[in-house]
Amino acid sequence: MRLLFATLMLVEAFLALALLFVQRTRRVYPGFGLWTLGETLTAMAYLLFALRGRAPDWVSMVAANTLLNLSTIVRLHGTYRFLDVRRPVWPWYAVPVLSAVVVAFLHYAVHLPPWRTFTAGLLTAAPAFHMAGLVIRRRGLGHRRFSVVIGAVIAALGSLVLVQGTFALLSPGYSLLQATALQQGTLLAAVVLHPALTMAFLMLNAARVEGDLAAAQTGLQSTIADLQRALAEVKTLKGLLPICARCKKVRDDAGYWTQIEVFVSDRSEAEFSHGICPDCARQLYPDLMDH
């Protein structure tokens, strides 16, 4: 059993390093760092479980269960941030404190190991089930089945600790290091499910990156279309314009002579209004201009 707990610790440490690598080298979203921290806390908890009987009880029992519970809360906090859930997550942080107090009381005050294990498992499973529900209900994570599968993995991990706690409650003389088939089966299942959970977090992040890229591509295509329409509407005048020295008509490409204002209006966005300059006014209306 110690070997299984040590294996779980190594697996969790490796997964934490993998998440940290992705966090440092890839685009990640709010909450991803908390998922990495949650993996680290889980590795520490399994290390303390492996030291059961060789380390003080407050370390291998109270601290280990508290760390395992806290790791679930930290992952839940990360999921809140990742999914942009606008509900307070801080009340959940009272659960690890409650777990530490209850586990210490059931061990030192009344000495009820089965109830200690069951209570610790229940307090760890509750936030896991809540996190699974958030992922399953939340939209914007891609295909519906994708969210359901990830939520099922999270719920399965929560179920493992609850099953172990229930087994402890129903088994006289229960011990964490007792090498029963159920104990070994739950730990082996954890060895499989923890990497699956890490893959779920990576897939959630990748799905969001893919969605943002698709939205950016759509926006870019829309911008390109707008620019193409604008370019199609732009009309410019360039080159030599043949213009009459007397009447100022302009000859177009077809050889027709048109008024300069008509020529310019047809080939640009300019519009003309008519008036008369002072020089022309003096020539045409000298009597009026003299006054």
Tokens encoding 119:
């209570």
Residue pair 63/80 in contact (Cβ under 8 Å)? The answer is: no
Please state, rounded to an integer, the average pLDDT across all residues of the chain.
86
26: three-class secondary structure by DSSP: coil
What DSSP string runs through 83-140?
Answer: HT--S--GGGGHHHHHHHHHHHIIIIIS--HHHHHHHHHHHHHHHHHHHHHHHHH-SS
Q: Which of 253, 258, 228, 255 is nearest to 238 (CA)?
A: 253
| pLDDT-wise least confident of 2-6, 146-150, 238-242, 271-275 | 238-242
43-63 pLDDT tens trace = 999 999 999 888 888 898 899
Residues of the chain with pLDDT > 70, as a percent, come to: 93
Every domain of the chain with CATH number 1.20.1070 lies at: 2-220
Residue 282 has a pLDDT of 79
pLDDT band at 237 (very low <50, low <70, confident <90, very high): low
Residue 4: left if φ>0, alpha if ψ -120 to 50, beta else—which one? alpha
Q: Which CATH class is domain 2-220?
A: mainly alpha
29-44 pLDDT tens trace = 999 999 999 999 999 9
Task: Evaluate if pTM is beyond 0.95.
Answer: no
Those residues with Cβ within 8 angstroms of residue 234's Cβ, 6 or more apart along the chain or in another chain: none
Max avg pLDDT among 109-113, 122-126, 254-258? 122-126
**Within 13 Å of residue 110, how many CA atoms lie on the same side as its CB?**
10
195-228 pLDDT tens trace = 998 988 898 888 888 888 888 888 888 889 888 8
